[in-house]
Homo-oligomer: A and B are copies of this chain.
């Protein structure tokens, strides 16, 4: 049996995961769907439906086992599968992401950074070296990196993306505001901070 997990579901799964982590830290063994639902402001049957998707059975009157559920989410979302990534653009955001160690716990290994500024080359950030962008094709292959985290200024975004695709990168996590043109076999995820911000503050009327 195999099913695709919709975006909405995997988004909720990570929120459940965070709540579970908190419960486990406090040595609470069980959690119920209404508890989670109330915390997130959603319907409790929604929570149960999501857990059903994980094939994770709960117990009536008791709820779900926190540790079991957490493992289940981690397995489903592949926390344990290592995924190698590079950061392209060693500016403020790129460097901040390079220093963000929590990524490791979710299977994301940042291997190196790339930039075109000669002043930044060969510096190490959080044990990750910054290389000149021209080294990209060799290094992607050497580091076995599938994912590129794109944090260059907007005007360079498309050109760098093209170069990444040439260099055999398969996933682009796009932190630039540019909407990239890519062939169908390349997956792009737009991390649009501006969009998030506007969505959240402009829940108003037209």
Nearest chain B CB to A43's CB is how many angstroms away? 16
Beta-carbon contact of B22 and A106 below 8 Å: no
Query: Of residues 164 to 206 in A, which have CB atoms within 8 Å of B's CB atoms?
Result: 171, 173, 177-179, 181, 187, 189-206
Beta-carbon contact of A202 and B22 below 8 Å: no
Beta-carbon contact of B96 and A179 below 8 Å: no
From B4, B22, B192, contact of A11 by CB (8 A)? B192
Beta-carbon contact of B195 and A15 below 8 Å: yes
Beta-carbon contact of B14 and A203 below 8 Å: no
Interface residues contributed by chain A, number (CB under 8 Å): 59
Beta-carbon contact of A19 and B179 below 8 Å: yes
From B96, B178, B179, B189, contact of A196 by CB (8 A)? B189
Complex contacts, A78 vs chain B, CB 8 Å: 198, 201-202, 204
Residues of A within 8 A of B (CB): 1-5, 7, 10-11, 14-15, 18-19, 22, 39-40, 53-55, 76-79, 83, 92-93, 95-96, 99-100, 102-103, 106, 108, 147, 171, 173, 177-179, 181, 187, 189-206
Q: With A14-B198, A76-B202, A171-B201 given, can you name 20 additional A-B contacts, CB distance below 8 Å? A: A2-B206, A5-B202, A5-B203, A10-B195, A10-B198, A10-B199, A11-B192, A11-B199, A14-B195, A39-B181, A77-B198, A78-B202, A92-B95, A92-B96, A93-B96, A103-B194, A108-B197, A147-B201, A187-B200, A191-B193
- The 10 closest A-B CB pairs, nearest first, are A189-B200, A96-B96, A14-B195, A2-B205, A92-B96, A92-B99, A77-B198, A10-B199, A18-B179, A93-B96
